[in-house]
């Protein structure tokens, strides 16, 4: 059993918590970090691993939402650009500027010059904190991005946004680590199963997904940050929300590196939506689809993968077309989109639905729920949650130390890496401090190995048994078998 996790469970039960945060995706992680960093006694729980659902399935971009200009959501773009710039300043090693090459097809719904003017407006709305956009001729595209199929194009443009250097899940875990450093009791694989409001306190029952045991936690307030599962948590608590989530399935595939350029290649796919090819080390992430679904648990279908492969092959000039055999890994998530509870979105244009977050507030029972939201806006979400919890009468201190990039202090490891560039000292640190419960936690969320190596390469890697032994001790073989089975 993970000693850090066991200690957190014991401390969470030992006294009344100022706040219980349910859900450890990006919203829950920033909420816990902001509260713990301001002195609140905080417990963070998730029924799976940290960042193991929607927050591990993004396009890996921290962007200001340029596509929302087309739907005239200028306020949202202004806000997201400001949030993106703040992330760049706070996390210079993890959130970095990257250039985008965008192709504009002949007969596109907007004239090429208007698209460029939109990119120029986007740059100004981003406070000119990145390199300015540049209108591209066909000759410039052929010269600077020769892999792009220019036959159907009228031209293109180049502009800047940001991406996560590691990955989205690792970025989220940074907030969990900050919360732990400030005394938060963060517990993965711990599910809320019941909650009773009595005598001015929340009496919560949670089930440990590892041991099967139930524990009790008493809290003065609750933050429902369960993302796609927020409505379910509200039902458990007897809370009637004014919002609801609708779901959009987004699928990405990881393939061998398509090009040596460090640009994000941006196109409009055959259905008219934005389509990205994002550098991921020596791999390329291609996506996304945008399909309405009725529930939060989905898997990529053969049609999803075929759509991505067909568009990539049509938009690029490749030595040989990409096929299913080139797909190293897949990502599939359901970003929850917030709408009013009585809204009818049956015939709505899916891409036009708001990507903003909303706070569902119930001060009489000291509960708030976070609906919707984006990775880019995470710092604002954390601060907003802290202000509301303080309004519940829970004393907090002012602090800006709950976020920001830690200065690396790791000495160079003289030994060769154990697996995928990860050294023994890093594995030992993860085992002791990062609550790695299953092999998937390490391969998919603490690192990018599960995305960039692929299952067959991982199975054959001679370093995997040693990495598992460092992380899981005598349970190493069982964890390897569990992952591949």
CATH number, residue 160 = 3.30.9.10
Could you read off the pLDDT of 269-315 as tens digits, one per residue? Answer: 777 777 899 999 889 999 888 788 888 888 889 999 999 999 999 99
Do 13 and 152 fall into the same domain? no
Could you read off the pLDDT of 220-270 as tens digits, one per residue? Answer: 999 999 999 999 999 999 999 999 888 888 899 999 998 877 899 998 777
- Asked if the structure places residue 406 within a domain, the reply is no
State yes or no: pLDDT of 350 exceeds 60: no
CATH assignment at residue 370? 3.50.50.60
Higher pLDDT, 104 or 346: 104
Q: Is 454 left (phi over 0), alpha (psi -120 to 50) or beta?
A: left
Do 252 and 159 fall into the same domain? yes
Among 223, 224, 206, residue whose Cα is nearest residue 215: 206
Of 79-88, 125-134, 191-200, 246-255, minimum mean pLDDT range: 246-255
Do 94 and 49 fall into the same domain? no
Do 299 and 361 fall into the same domain? no
- How many other CB atoms sit within 10 Å of the CB of residue 350? 13
Instruction: Give the pair of three-digit tokens for residue 208.
Output: 């440990």
- Asked if the structure places residue 402 within a domain, the reply is no
State yes or no: pLDDT of 353 exceeds 70: no
Of 237-246, 339-348, 447-456, minimum mean pLDDT range: 339-348
Residues in the chain, overall count: 485
Do 471 and 326 fall into the same domain? no
Do 443 and 311 fall into the same domain? no
Among 441, 348, 318, residue whose Cα is nearest residue 2: 441
Rounded to a whole number of angstroms, the distance between the first and last alpha carbons of the chain is 21
- Asked if the structure places residue 396 within a domain, the reply is no
Domain boundary among 297, 313, 337: 337
**Confidence at residue 411, expressed as pLDDT on a 0 to 100 scale:** 65
Could you read off the pLDDT of 53-88 as tens digits, one per residue? Answer: 999 998 899 989 898 898 888 998 999 999 999 999
Q: What interhelical angle do 378-391 and 74-90 show, nearest 10?
A: 100
Among residues of the chain, what percentage have pLDDT more than 90? Answer: 77
202 beta partners: 197, 219
**Confidence at residue 8, expressed as pLDDT on a 0 to 100 scale:** 98
Helix and strand totals (H; E) in the chain: 15, 20
Do 132 and 266 fall into the same domain? yes
Do 173 and 290 fall into the same domain? no
Among 164, 61, 68, 62, residue whose Cα is nearest residue 121: 68
Taking the C-alpha atoms of residue 243 and residue 442, their distance in angstroms, rounded to an integer, is 35
State yes or no: pLDDT of 352 exceeds 60: no
- Asked if the structure places residue 237 within a domain, the reply is yes
Confidence band, pLDDT 50/70/90 cuts, at residue 198: very high
- Asked if the structure places residue 317 within a domain, the reply is yes
Do 145 and 251 fall into the same domain? yes
**Confidence at residue 298, expressed as pLDDT on a 0 to 100 scale:** 83
- Asked if the structure places residue 399 within a domain, the reply is no
Do 307 and 253 fall into the same domain? yes
State yes or no: pLDDT of 110 exceeds 90: no
Fill in the DSSP letter of residue 40.
-
Give the domain extent around 474: 424-484
* Beta-carbon contacts of residue 446 (< 8 Å; ≥ 6 apart): 169, 170, 173, 430, 434, 436
- Asked if the structure places residue 265 within a domain, the reply is yes
Do 155 and 175 fall into the same domain? no
Domain total of the chain? 3
- Asked if the structure places residue 318 within a domain, the reply is yes
Could you read off the pLDDT of 268-280 as tens digits, one per residue? Answer: 777 777 789 999 9
0.75 exceeded by pTM: yes
Query: Are the beta carbons of 248 and 292 closer than 8 angstroms?
Result: yes
Do 121 and 92 fall into the same domain? yes
**Confidence at residue 1, expressed as pLDDT on a 0 to 100 scale:** 58
Q: In 445-472, which positions are buried (b, 16+ CB within 10 angstroms) versus exposed (e)?
A: bbbbbbbbbbeeebeebeebeebbbbbb
Of 249-258, 332-341, 424-433, minimum mean pLDDT range: 332-341
**Confidence at residue 354, expressed as pLDDT on a 0 to 100 scale:** 59
């Amino acid at each position: 059993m993970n000693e850090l996790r066991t200690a957190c469970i014991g401390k969470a039960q030992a006294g009344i918590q100022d706040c219980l945060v349910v859900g450890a995706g990006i919203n829950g992680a920033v909420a816990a970090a902001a509260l713990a960093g301001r002195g609140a006694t905080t417990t963070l729980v998730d029924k799976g691993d940290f960042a193991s659902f929607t927050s591990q399935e993004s396009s890996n971009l921290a962007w200001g939402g340029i596509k929302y200009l087309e739907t005239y959501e200028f306020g949202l773009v202004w806000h997201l650009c400001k949030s993106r710039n703040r992330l760049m300043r706070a996390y210079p090693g993890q959130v970095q500027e990257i250039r985008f090459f965008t192709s504009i097809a002949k007969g596109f719904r907007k004239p090429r010059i208007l698209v460029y003017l939109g990119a120029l407006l986007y740059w100004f709305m981003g406070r000119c904190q990145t390199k300015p956009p540049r209108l591209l001729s066909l000759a410039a595209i052929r010269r600077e991005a020769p892999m792009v199929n220019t036959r159907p194009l009228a031209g293109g443009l180049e502009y800047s946004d940001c991406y996560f250097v590691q990955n989205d899940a690792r970025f989220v875990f940074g907030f969990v680590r900050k919360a732990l450093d400030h005394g938060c009791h963060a517990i993965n694989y711990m599910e809320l199963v019941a909650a009773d409001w009595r005598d001015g306190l929340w009496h919560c029952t949670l089930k440990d997904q590892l041991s099967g045991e139930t524990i009790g936690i008493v809290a003065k307030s609750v933050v429902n940050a369960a993302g796609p599962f927020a409505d379910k948590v509200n039902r458990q608590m007897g809370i009637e929300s004014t919002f609801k989530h609708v779901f959009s399935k987004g699928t990405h595939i990881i393939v061998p590196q398509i090009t040596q350029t460090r640009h994000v290649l941006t196109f409009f796919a055959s259905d008219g939506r934005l389509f990205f090819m994002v550098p991921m080390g020596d791999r390329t992430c291609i996506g996304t689809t945008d399909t309405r679904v009725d529930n939060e648990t989905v898997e990529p279908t053969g049609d999803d993968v075929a759509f991505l492969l067909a568009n990539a092959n049509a938009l690029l000039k490749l030595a040989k077309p990409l096929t299913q055999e080139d797909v190293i890994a897949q990502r599939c998530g359901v970003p929850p989109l917030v709408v009013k509870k009585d809204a009818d979105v049956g015939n709505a244009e899916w891409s036009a639905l708001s990507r903003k977050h909303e706070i569902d507030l119930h001060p009489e029972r000291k509960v708030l729920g976070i609906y919707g939201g984006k990775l880019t806006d995470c710092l604002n979400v954390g601060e907003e949650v802290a202000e509301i919890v303080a309004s519940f009468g829970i004393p907090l201190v002012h602090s800006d130390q709950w976020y920001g990039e830690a200065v690396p202090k790791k000495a160079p490891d003289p030994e060769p890496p154990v697996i995928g560039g990860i050294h023994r000292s890093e594995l030992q640190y993860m085992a002791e401090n990062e609550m790695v419960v299953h092999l998937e936690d390490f391969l998919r969320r603490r690192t990018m190995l599960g995305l960039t190596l692929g299952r067959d390469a991982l199975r054959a890697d001679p370093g995997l048994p040693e990495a598992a032994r460092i992380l899981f001790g005598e349970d190493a073989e069982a964890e390897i078998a569990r992952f591949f089975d």
